[in-house]
Amino acid sequence: MAAKYSLAAAKATLADLDAANNDDPESEKTAALAAKCDIYAKIIAAQVETQKLRNHTAENWEKRAATARSIEAIQEQIGQARSGKVNDLEAEKAKMKDQEARLQAEMQQNQEKFQAEAAAKEAALKAANEREANLQKQQADLQKQQADLQKQLEAEKKALAEERAKAEARQAEAMNKLNELQSKLIQVTKDARGIILSMSDILFDVNKASLKADLKTSLAKVAGILSVYQQFNVSIEGNTDNTGSEEHNMKLSQQRADNVMKFLVDQGIDASRLTAKGLGMSMPIADNKTKEGRQKNRRVDLVIQDKALQQNAEPAAAPAEPAAAPAAAPEAK
């Protein structure tokens, strides 16, 4: 009955091992089931050896019974004998008793060996069962943690979607207010970066970076909107056409962007919300071969972006390093 139980349990464990190996051959559970199958194999092998020993023991007992019968026959012969054969029979009897003693000692030794091996295998099986139970508990804990994390992720996604919707609504509202500023001095557009306020070159003197009065008036209105919508960050970008040297254009565009930033800071806008970078002639929006195109390219852009949306956007390119101060160029930028 025990052998049948071990064989059935071994088959069940082998089936579990096949399933676990298909799922994840490198998992701890797979390793534990493999070890358990190995233990069952050893137990079944021990049971086979035990059965052989039992068969051998039965044969020994049969031999012993035969020996006893022989002894009885010899004793009967001794009782009946009246000749010198008595000594031979006694010697045969002693030989048989010695053989019986050796068989008994062998049986005892085999029995002790089997019991020791069975105890060791039982302990190993118990340890394997404990490891399997621990792995099952760990798996259950991990599944619970995964479920909790999934719930948390869904909640965070929902909160993020709500915050994004609010940010987009705020941006749309601000876009409406900024559209009210639109004039020949300021053009308001929107692209993937955010709301773009483009200020043309007529707001600056030729080859100068100081702000004119009209530009200050428009910037003051922009500052008023930014002071209300604290969630907005602003990137101030200075641009030029392609006349003159690249080094001079880079310096002039940076100076104009810096002056716009300084004006907004003076209007009470936190400098941490502002960045200024001169792009020189690298970002044209029109053809530099025409006078009208060059005039469109000589501009300052304010890129306004909601912080909540900005956190999910790809990082913008690093601001260009301003060049060292060159001699003044003769062309207007």
Output the tens digit of pLDDT for each of the chain's 333 residues: 555 556 777 778 778 878 877 887 788 878 887 887 888 778 878 877 888 888 888 887 888 888 888 888 877 776 666 666 667 777 888 888 888 888 888 889 888 888 888 889 889 988 999 898 899 989 999 888 989 989 888 888 888 787 777 766 766 665 666 665 555 457 888 888 888 888 765 567 768 888 888 888 888 988 988 988 888 899 999 998 898 899 999 999 999 999 999 999 999 999 999 999 999 999 999 999 998 888 888 889 999 987 755 454 444 343 334 333 333 333 444
pTM confidence score: 0.43
Spatial separation of the C-alpha atoms in residues 186 and 212, rounded to whole Å: 13
Domains and CATH numbers, the chain: 2-154 (1.10.287.1490), 180-310 (3.30.1330.60)
Contact 125, 39 (CB under 8 A): yes
Strands (E), the chain: 186-191, 194-200, 232-239, 274-278, 299-306
* Residue ranges in 201-241 assigned as alpha helix (H): 213-228
Spatial separation of the C-alpha atoms in residues 57 and 63, rounded to whole Å: 9
Spatial separation of the C-alpha atoms in residues 195 and 47, rounded to whole Å: 82
| Sheet strand arrangement including 299-306 | 186-191, 194-200, 299-306, 232-239, 274-278
Cα R_g (the chain), whole angstroms: 49
